[in-house]
Chains A and B, each alone.
Chain A
Amino acid sequence: MVSDRADHRDRLRALEFDAFVAGAGGRLLHTATLLTGEPPQPPGAYPRAERLLHAALCRTYAEWDRLHGGDPYDLARRELALRFAREARRHQRPRGGLLERLTPVERLVLVLRMYEEVGEEQTAALLGLPGDRVRAVCARAVAALRSAGRGRTAPPAGGRTAGAGRRGAA
């Protein structure tokens, strides 16, 4: 029966998806928190990052059958990055996270290149930017983050100790 087979596929997909989220969800949520640049607002929760990740995972689930052996992590990360790029204007305000001083595009490029270790050309293709622009934005973000870290001299988890002095530099 066709419906039996469809049921079976639905159940299999749900199982695979649960296993994928259990394995990769924490890392993806960390990526999302770096992107949104928010501190845990009710302690331990990141509402914006969780909303972003939820939307990306919905798309990942819907596209699951079309993966055909491709990496679901790549798909989820791609959805996360594109969704963040689309709503970047909503994430402009500094919120006290580690990357709060960077602009949304700088955060996105930095996280993709340095944390997710996506190649330069892949990042450029994903965001629709020229490769040298990706390199320039990444270098700028690295410099800004290092100077902020030096000024702060605290472990990166401590949020809002540094003053909001250097916003125009980015």
Chain B
Amino acid sequence: MSGDRPDPREEQVRRMLDGPHPVLPPDLAARAARRGGRRLRWRRAAHRTAFWLLAALLVAALVRAGFEQPWTAEPAQVTPPLEGW
């Protein structure tokens, strides 16, 4: 990435940045897991709701199509003209 030879200026900056790690607050992981879990559950619930909503819509559309049968030809409303007798 930065080539073969390390730039001495960059090395100096790296040393400046590289300090001792601060101590993590003991409850940070637990708090993050709790809030992340809440977000996860909420997202899952939203996905589930959306899925079932779409499924219900699909079923309703199919049932309606079964009753209406839009693929059959409409019955003729007008008698065809009688010709040639």
Does B9 count as interface, using CB distance less than 8 angstroms?
yes
Answer whether residue A103 sits at the interface, using C-beta atoms and an 8 A cutoff.
no
Taking the complex as formed, is B83 at the interface, i.e. its CB lies under 8 A from any CB of chain A? no
Q: Which of A129-170 contact B (CB under 8 A)?
A: 142, 145-146, 149, 156-157
B22 touches A58 (CB 8 A): no
Interface status of A80 (Cβ within 8 A of chain B): no
The total of interchain contacts (Cβ-Cβ below 8 angstroms) comes to: 100
Q: Please, how many residues of chain B have a CB less than 8 angstroms from a CB on the other chain?
A: 27
A54 B37 Cβ-Cβ under 8 A: no
- B12 touching A22 by the CB < 8 A rule? no
Give chain B's interface secondary structure class. Answer: helix
Closest residue of A by beta carbon distance from B16:
A156
* Residue in B14, B20, B24 whose CB lies within 8 Å of A21: B24
Judged by a CB distance under 8 angstroms, whether B73 is at the interface is: no
Count residues on chain A whose CB falls below 8 Å from chain B CBs.
43
Contact A120 B1 (CB under 8 A): yes
Q: Does B29 contact A (CB under 8 A)?
A: yes
Interface readout for B17-28 with A: 1 if CB under 8 Å, 0 if not?
Answer: 111111111001
A-B contact sample (6 more), CB < 8 A, given A21-B29, A27-B21: A17-B33, A18-B33, A44-B22, A61-B35, A62-B39, A62-B43
Provide a sorted-by-A list of 26 A–B residue pairs whose CB atoms are within 8 angstroms: A25-B28, A26-B22, A26-B23, A27-B21, A30-B20, A33-B22, A45-B25, A57-B32, A58-B36, A58-B39, A59-B36, A59-B39, A60-B32, A61-B33, A61-B40, A114-B13, A114-B14, A114-B17, A119-B1, A142-B10, A145-B13, A145-B16, A146-B12, A149-B16, A156-B16, A156-B19
Binding site for A on B (CB under 8 A): 1, 9-10, 12-14, 16-25, 28-29, 31-33, 35-37, 39-40, 43
